[in-house]
Amino acid sequence: MSVLRVQHLAEVPNRQPTFLAMGSFDGVHLGHQEVIRSMVAAARQAGARAAVLTFFPHPKRIVQHTTGPYYITTLEDRVALLGACGVDLVITHPFDETVRHTRAADFVQQMLDALDMRQLWGGNFAFGYRREGDVPFLRQLGAEKGFSVQLVSSLVRIAGDWVSSSRIRACLQTGNVAEARLCLGRPYHVSGMVVHGNQRGRAIGFPTANLDSWNELLLPANGVYATYAYVGAQRYVAATNVGVRPTVNGHDVRVEAHLLDFDGDLYGQELRVEFVQRIRAEQRFAGLEALKAQIAQDVAQIRSIVGESRD
């Protein structure tokens, strides 16, 4: 059964007892998953609906005016991942200046009116105008309004540090996709339609699929990666370059995947690329022959890496 998604609190179709987790949940990493699965289990036991209220765009886009690629997942992937945690309803509430300046008590009342909220779940969160809706405030309000606040204190550590969306972004910005995978509980991936490029890869014997991915998605640092590429349900080992292609004087950042042992036409198809390990930084070569020789070395190394890390 698929998760029900609405785009605003006012669009929730029926008011019923609800346990709600609220937050940005970008990436739906292992820490997020622990909060949500704990809430879902409690909601099932109480016979209540399990729901998530997440914001889009990310509040930092509005509050801190962040620009450029930022998100770990697309909104569609975020909803699907939340659904995989067992929630019944996902509200992708818009975050804008109106929401930013809404007093915490007023926003809680909106949630109560739409959802009949019985429990509010999360980490050590704060929301509302000037973040006044912190845990003590919410617990006092809950005592008056008939809901409780549930904090999940057993957050997840990987390699001695807390798992967080900020940590995953830092991993991606340095190309550490292996650590990002540990924090996410799954490989970091980029999806997009395969579009026509300059076909220089084909000319040197290494044809690549050029992905038209979401321009707000945070890509791993420029470089060459051992990856898996999915064409529908079929998985292929792939050598994937993220970068500007300096040898051919490129400028725009692209994700280009060379699927090993694949022969066919991918144009117009959706391709999903999962990142396993970064093998080198992007670099400029003296010419196409030098580039071709390096790619051959990359492919051999990737076969070895992926052969050792098969699921």
CA torsion, ordered 258, 259, 262, 265, to nearest 10 deg: -60
Residue 64: per-residue pLDDT? 87
CATH H-level, domain 186-308: superfamily: Riboflavin kinase-like (2.40.30.30)
Residue type, position 68, single letter:
G
The tokens of 53 are what? 């209220």
Report in angstroms the alpha-carbon separations of 170 from 204, 215, 263.
34, 18, 36
pLDDT in tens, the chain (311 residues): 589 999 999 999 999 999 999 989 999 999 999 999 999 999 999 999 999 999 999 988 988 888 889 999 999 999 999 999 999 999 999 999 998 889 989 999 999 999 999 999 987 677 766 778 788 889 999 999 999 999 876 678 998 899 999 999 999 999 999 999 999 999 999 999 999 876 665 556 688 999 999 999 999 999 999 999 999 999 999 999 999 865 555 558 899 999 998 988 899 999 999 999 999 998 887 677 888 888 889 999 999 988 755 55
- CATH number for the region 4-155 comes to 3.40.50.620
The tokens of 46 are what? 């109480």
Residue 165: per-residue pLDDT? 94
Residue 309: per-residue pLDDT? 54
End-to-end CA distance of the chain: 27
Residue 311: per-residue pLDDT? 52
Q: State residue 254 phi and psi, 5-degree precision.
A: -130, 155
Residue 294: per-residue pLDDT? 85
Residue pointed to by tokens 């697309």 = 74
CB contact at 8 A, 299 and 200 = no
Residue 135: per-residue pLDDT? 86
Cis check: omega of the bond before 94, within 30 degrees of 0:
no
> Which one-letter DSSP state was computed for residue 285?
-
Domain boundaries, the chain: 4-155, 186-308
CA angle (22, 23, 27) in 5-degree steps: 130
Residue 15 to residue 18: CA distance in whole angstroms: 8
Q: Which of 219, 221, 224, 220 is nearest to 208 (CA)?
A: 224
